[in-house]
C-alpha cells in the first residue's frame, strides 16, 4: 500500500503538483464509494491523517535519497569511474531508504549513467533468500505445506477452554515436523492433535496455552499451542515420562496460573484501547497486539509520540476501570447486531456471520475470540512500561498487569537503591537532587575541558603555521596529529583558517584504528575553487574513506590507516589541481 501511495505522489510531482495533495483527493473518493464501503466515511479523518503523514514522510525520503544518490554520482565523476552505478547501491537506496528505483533510473539517465540491473537483481535475490530463511523459524502453520496437511481435511479440533481448563479426550494424531507417527518416547518433541482441547491456540495476538497432557503410559509437557491448517489445534509437547501412542485416552490440563496471567493482560488490552481512544481521539485503532503471561504489547494508529501527560491519563483511566470491578461478559450474536451495539472490530479484518462479543459495560465492547476474566477487578493493577514508534503512523505501548506490576515496582526500587548506593546516598529519596548536582558538575568539567582543549589547539595551531607551504599564492598546512581526536583537529584547523583568508588546512588523526580527516579553507581559497568538502572527500578517497561538508570546514572518516601517509603527501598536488580547475 505504501508503494502505491508513493507512486501516486511521484506521478503528482511529474504532473507539476507541488506540496501535499493526496488529502485533497480523499473527499471525492469517499463520496463516490461510501455507499458500498461505509467505513470510508467513518474513518475519513483517520485516512486523511494517514495519507498526509505518508506523503510528508515520502517527501523527506526523496530528499534523503537524493543526497545519497548525488554522492554516488559525484564519486563516479570525481574518481573517473565507469559510468555504471553498482546495483547493490541502487538496491540499498530502494530497500533501506525507500527511494524508488524508477526515480533512481530516471536521474541516472539524465546524468548519462547506466544502472547495474544485474547487480540490483542479485541483491534483491539475496534479500528474498534471507527473508525466506527467516520464515523458516516461524511457528506459522497456515497455508504453507506442513505435516498437518496429511491429516484429513474434514478433521478439525474444537476449543472447549472458555469454560474449563481440563478435558479427557483421545490423542488422535502424533506428528513430528515432517511425518505422522504412531508413538513417541521420553525426550522426544512432537505435536499432539485431538478432536477437542481446553488449550487455547495462539490467535489474535493471544499466546498459546501451556500445561500437561498425561496418559496411563506417559506424561507430556505442553510447550506451546498453535492453530494448524483446517482448524486443527496442534499442541507442541516434550515427552517427559514414559511414552505416548496415538489412539490413547489422555487428560489435558492447562496451566491455570499462566492462563490467568494471559487473561489479565488480554482483558486489560481491551481497556487500554478504550482509554487511548478517549484520551487521544477516535482515530486510534488497534494495529496489532501480543498478550502473554508476562506482558501486553499493543500497537495502535497515532501520528505522534505520546506525551507524559497523555500516558499518565491513559494509565489512570485504565486503573479506574479496574478498580470499578466492571463485569466482563461474552456472548455470540449476528455481526449486524454486534455492530448496532457499537462493538469495536479490527479495521480491515474479515468476520463471519456470527461473532463473539466481549463486553465491559460502558468501558469497552469488542469482537474477540480470546479468553477473558469475568471482572476487571481481577486484573489487579496496570502499568505502562514503554511507549515507542514502530512504523509510520503506528505507536506501541508495552505494559504489565497484576503480579507483573509488583515485579516492575520491585525491579525499579532495586535500581533506585543500587543507584543511590553508587552515589553514596543514605536516603534514596535524595537521588534526583544528587543526579542534578552531578550533571551540573559534569557540565562544569566539560566547560573547563573545552576551554583547555581550545587553548591547546591554539598552541598547536601556532606551531603548525611554521610549516606553511605556498602554492600559487595559497598557503597550505598539512599535518598528521598523533593522539588527537576528531574534535581536536577540527578546532586546530578552524583556528588556523581564522588567521588567514588565503589558507588551506588538511589535518588527520587516528583513533583505535579509525582514520579521521579535516579540511578548512579560507574565503580566498574557496573563491579560487578549493571548497573544503570536495577537498577532504578527494583526500579520503585515496585511503578508501568518505566524507564531505561545507566549503569552509569539512570532515571525513574511515579507510586504510596504512595509506594515510601517502595520501597526505599528495595533498599539495590535489590543491594544485583544484586551483588550476578554478582559473
Note whether 401 and 264 are within 8 A (CB).
yes
Domains in the chain: ranges and CATH:
2-135 (no CATH), 147-254 (2.40.30.130), 259-409 (3.30.980.10), 452-582 (3.10.310.40)
Q: Which range among 1-15, 81-95, 208-222, 553-567 has the greatest average pLDDT?
A: 208-222
- Between 98 and 229, whose confidence is greater? 229
Query: Sorting pLDDT into bands at 50, 70 and 90, what band is 125?
Result: confident
pLDDT of residue 457: 63
pLDDT of residue 14: 74
Q: What residues pair up with 238 in beta bridges, in sequence order? A: 189, 221
Note whether 567 and 545 are within 8 A (CB).
no
Residues 269, 291: Cα–Cα separation, whole Å = 8
The CB-side HSE value for 5 (13 A sphere, CA atoms) comes to 21
User: Residues 391-414: what's their mean pLDDT?
Assistant: 92
Residues 373, 258: Cα–Cα separation, whole Å = 13
Q: Which range among 53-57, 88-92, 325-329, 489-493 has the greatest average pLDDT?
A: 325-329
Over 70: is that where the pLDDT of 402 sits? yes
Over residues 447-461, the pLDDT tens digits come to: 887 777 666 666 666
Q: Which run of H or E residues covers position 279?
A: helix 256-280
Least confident of 154-163, 402-411, 473-482: 473-482
Over residues 316-373, the pLDDT tens digits come to: 999 999 999 999 999 999 988 988 888 877 655 566 788 999 999 999 999 999 999 9
Residues 6 or more apart in contact with residue 475 via CB below 8 angstroms: 468, 469, 500, 502, 503, 504
Sign of the CA dihedral 280, 285, 287, 293?
Answer: positive
Over residues 276-286, the pLDDT tens digits come to: 999 999 889 89
Q: For residue 364, give the nearest of 272, 285, 300 by alpha carbon.
A: 272
Over 90: is that where the pLDDT of 41 sits? no
pLDDT of residue 279: 96
If DSSP codes are grouped into helix, strand and coil, which group holds residue 543? Answer: coil
- Give the Å distances, CA to CA, from 421 to 284, 414, 426, 438, 479: 43, 11, 7, 14, 47
If DSSP codes are grouped into helix, strand and coil, which group holds residue 321? Answer: helix
Over residues 228-263, the pLDDT tens digits come to: 988 999 999 999 999 999 999 999 999 999 999 999
pLDDT of residue 462: 67
- Cβ burial 62-94 (10 Å sphere, 16+ → b, else e): beebeeebeebbeebeeeeeeeebbbebbbebb
Please state, rounded to an integer, the average pLDDT across all residues of the chain. 88
Least confident of 60-64, 251-255, 262-266, 431-435: 60-64
Say if residue 235 is exposed, middle or buried (CB neighbours under 10 Å; 0-12, 13-18, 19+): buried
What residue has cell string 564531505? 548
Instruction: Report percent pLDDT > 70 for the chain.
Output: 95
pLDDT of residue 165: 97
Is-above-0.75 flag for pTM?
Answer: no
Say if residue 557 is exposed, middle or buried (CB neighbours under 10 Å; 0-12, 13-18, 19+): middle
What residue has cell string 450474536? 333
User: Residues 462-471: what's their mean pLDDT?
Assistant: 78
Amino acid at each position: 500500500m505504501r508503494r502505491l501511495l508513493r507512486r501516486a505522489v511521484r506521478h503528482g510531482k511529474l504532473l507539476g503538483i507541488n506540496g501535499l495533495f493526496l488529502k485533497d483527493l480523499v473527499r471525492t473518493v469517499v463520496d463516490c464509494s461510501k455507499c458500498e464501503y461505509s467505513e470510508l466515511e467513518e474513518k475519513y479523518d483517520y485516512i486523511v491523517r494517514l495519507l498526509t503523514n505518508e506523503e510528508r514522510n515520502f517527501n523527506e525520503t526523496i530528499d534523503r535519497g537524493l543526497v545519497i544518490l548525488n554522492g554516488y554520482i559525484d564519486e563516479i565523476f570525481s574518481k573517473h569511474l565507469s559510468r555504471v552505478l553498482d546495483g547493490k547501491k541502487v538496491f540499498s537506496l530502494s530497500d533501506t531508504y525507500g527511494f524508488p528505483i524508477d526515480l533512481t533510473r530516471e536521474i541516472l539517465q539524465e546524468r548519462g549513467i547506466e544502472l547495474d540491473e544485474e547487480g540490483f537483481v542479485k541483491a534483491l535475490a539475496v534479500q528474498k533468500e534471507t527473508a525466506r530463511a527467516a520464515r523458516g523459524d516461524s511457528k506459522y502453520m497456515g497455508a504453507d505445506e506442513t505435516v498437518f496437511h496429511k491429516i484429513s481435511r474434514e478433521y478439525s479440533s474444537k476449543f472447549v477452554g472458555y469454560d474449563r481448563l481440563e478435558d479427557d479426550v483421545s490423542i488422535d494424531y502424533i506428528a513430528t515436523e515432517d511425518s505422522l507417527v504412531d508413538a513417541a518416547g521420553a525426550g522426544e518433541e512432537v505435536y499432539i492433535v485431538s478432536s477437542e482441547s481446553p488449550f487455547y491456540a495462539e490467535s489474535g495476538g493471544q499466546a498459546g496455552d501451556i500445561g500437561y497432557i498425561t496418559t496411563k503410559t506417559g506424561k507430556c509437557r505442553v510447550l506451546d499451542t498453535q492453530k494448524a491448517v483446517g482448524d486443527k489445534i496442534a499442541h507442541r509437547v516434550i515427552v517427559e515420562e514414559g511414552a505416548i501412542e496415538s489412539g490413547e485416552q489422555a487428560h489435558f490440563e492447562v496451566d491455570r496460573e499462566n492462563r490467568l496471567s494471559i487473561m489479565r493482560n488480554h482483558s486489560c488490552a481491551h481497556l487500554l484501547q478504550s482509554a487511548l481512544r478517549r484520551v487521544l481521539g477516535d482515530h486510534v485503532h488497534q494495529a496489532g497486539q501480543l498478550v502473554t503471561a508476562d506482558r501486553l504489547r499493543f500497537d495502535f494508529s497515532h501520528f505522534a509520540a505520546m506525551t507524559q501527560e497523555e500516558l499518565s491519563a491513559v494509565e489512570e483511566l485504565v486503573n479506574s476501570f479496574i478498580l470499578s470491578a466492571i463485569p466482563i461478559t461474552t456472548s455470540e450474536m449476528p455481526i449486524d447486531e454486534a455492530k448496532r451495539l457499537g462493538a469495536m472490530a479490527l479495521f480491515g479484518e474479515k468476520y463471519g456471520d456470527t461473532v463473539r462479543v466481549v463486553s465491559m459495560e460502558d468501558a469497552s465492547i469488542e469482537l474477540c475470540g480470546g479468553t477473558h476474566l469475568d471482572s476487571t477487578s481481577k486484573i489487579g493493577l496496570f502499568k505502562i512500561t514503554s511507549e515507542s514508534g514502530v512504523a509510520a503512523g503506528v505507536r506501541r505501548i508495552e505494559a504489565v498487569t497484576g503480579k507483573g506490576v509488583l515485579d516492575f515496582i520491585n525491579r525499579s526500587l532495586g535500581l533506585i537503591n543500587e543507584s543511590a548506593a553508587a552515589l553514596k546516598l543514605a536516603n534514596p529519596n535524595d537521588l534526583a537532587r544528587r543526579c542534578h548536582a552531578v550533571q551540573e558538575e559534569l557540565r562544569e568539567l566539560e566547560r573547563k575541558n573545552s576551554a583547555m582543549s581550545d587553548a591547546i589547539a591554539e598552541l598547536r595551531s601556532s606551531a603548525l603555521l611554521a610549516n606553511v607551504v605556498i602554492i600559487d599564492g595559497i598557503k597550505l598546512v598539512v599535518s598528521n596529529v598523533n593522539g588527537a581526536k576528531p574534535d581536536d583537529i577540527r578546532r586546530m584547523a578552524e583556528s588556523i583558517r581564522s588567521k588567514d583568508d588565503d589558507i588551506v588546512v588538511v589535518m588527520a588523526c587516528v583513533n583505535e584504528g579509525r582514520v579521521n580527516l579535516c579540511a578548512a579553507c579560507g574565503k580566498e581559497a574557496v573563491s579560487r575553487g578549493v571548497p573544503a568538502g570536495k577537498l577532504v572527500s578527494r583526500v579520503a578517497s585515496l585511503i578508501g574513506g568518505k566524507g564531505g561538508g561545507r566549503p569552509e570546514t569539512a570532515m571525513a572518516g574511515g579507510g586504510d590507516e596504512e595509506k594515510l601517509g601517502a595520501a597526505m603527501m599528495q595533498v599539495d598536488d590535489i590543491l594544485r589541481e583544484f586551483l588550476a580547475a578554478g582559473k
